[in-house]
Amino acid sequence: MSLKIPMLTVVGAGPGDVDLITLKAIKAIKSANVILYDALINEDLLEYASKEAELIFVGKRKGCYAFQQEQINSLIVSKAREKGHVVRLKGGDPFIFGRGAEEIDYVRQFGLETYVVPGISSSMAVPAYQGIPLTKRGASESFWVITGTTKKHQLSGDVALAAKSTATVVILMGMSKLDEIVAIFSEENKQDVAVAVIQNGTRDNENVGIGTIASIKSIVEEKQLSNPAIIVIGDVVKERAVLSSIFKEVEGNYDERE
């Protein structure tokens, strides 16, 4: 019988489209003895797992936790000691508001080998699928990616700093703070700045609302947009109408070639 070395691989599952998984992530999933997966991953990815692998849902959504973070940490250690290779499968990229670094810090004190497989972050992929470039010459020279909800369940203070800049602003987990976000940008006289709210980005049930700082709240209400969603603020949102139609045509061509 082969020796099972206790180890953890934190794997980024990407933003939702099952095809946006990396080859290295698939290899990690196939080799796992145990997979602990979150609510936001595409569960079709679990089909890559070995039939012998133990699959454990530790789903985390806002206000709904199958496991608390401390329980997940302990579960990683106990399952690694019992069965060997544990894959922690997280939506997007595990090092961008994914708490991947926290889990690695915790398990290292118990002697586990640790590895990371980066994932495609929703902060970049979701706007791209809508034809929204986060940077473009003449429109935006940089972008901020900010959490809408901090550990203390407050809006990050960085939003106010970002609102003073000309950069594109991408806010994750910010739908419950939309009123505050709109107020901050309005105080900077940016009522006419373009905004996109994209729900279930890159998935079949993707839904989007496009407006301005002044109108986005009513558009969100009209389209009944809610979490999981990202908020994109900046002139680059105006590029969407040109690019999105091209992207959809190309994607259709891909399907025809298969």
Q: Which of 24, 27, 60, 136 is catalytic?
A: 60
The sign of the torsion formed by the CA atoms of 231, 237, 241, 244 equals negative
Active site residue 7: no
Residue with tokens 């900046």: 234
Cα distance between the two ends of the chain: 42
Report H helices in 164-225.
178-187, 216-223
**Distance (Å, rounded) from C-alpha 93 to C-alpha 14?**
6
Strands (E), 100-166: 113-117, 143-147
Active site residue 173: yes
Active site residue 17: no
**Distance (Å, rounded) from C-alpha 199 to C-alpha 182?**
18
Q: Which of 7, 38, 79, 175 is catalytic?
A: 38
Q: Is the peptide bond before 94 cis (omega within 30 degrees of 0)?
A: no
Q: Which of 7, 90, 93, 173 is catalytic?
A: 173
**Distance (Å, rounded) from C-alpha 121 to C-alpha 45?**
16
Which residues are part of the catalytic machinery?
38, 60, 173
